[in-house]
Amino acid sequence: MKKTYKIEVDCANCANLMEEAARKTPGVQIATVNFMTQKMIVEFEEGHEPAGVMQDVVKACKKVEPDCEIFL
């Protein structure tokens, strides 16, 4: 399943870090952060509940970039 989330992040490098963090989160197959449109596109692995996985993604992203915001 593929979902798009709106995000708020200030710098392109931070967006890269968020992308990496999201990709490493269990349950995420592919994650792309689009800094320009301020969007995160997450493709979930089968059998994982997006809502639960996204909680972890938010946590992982906050860890690398405390200022970021993901609107679930």
Q: Rule CB under 8 A: which residues touch another protein?
A: 8, 10-13, 16-17, 32, 34-39, 41, 63-64, 66-67
Nearest distance from C-beta of residue 12 to another protein, angstroms = 5
Name the token pair of 8: 């708020």
Nearest distance from C-beta of residue 20 to another protein, angstroms = 9
Residue type, 1: M
Nearer to another protein, 37 or 55 (CB): 37
CA neighbor of 61 nearest in space, from 23, 22, 35? 22
How many Cβ atoms are within 10 Å of 69's Cβ, its own excluded? 14
Nearer to another protein, 8 or 45 (CB): 8
Nearer to another protein, 32 or 55 (CB): 32
Furthest CA-CA distance within the chain: 33
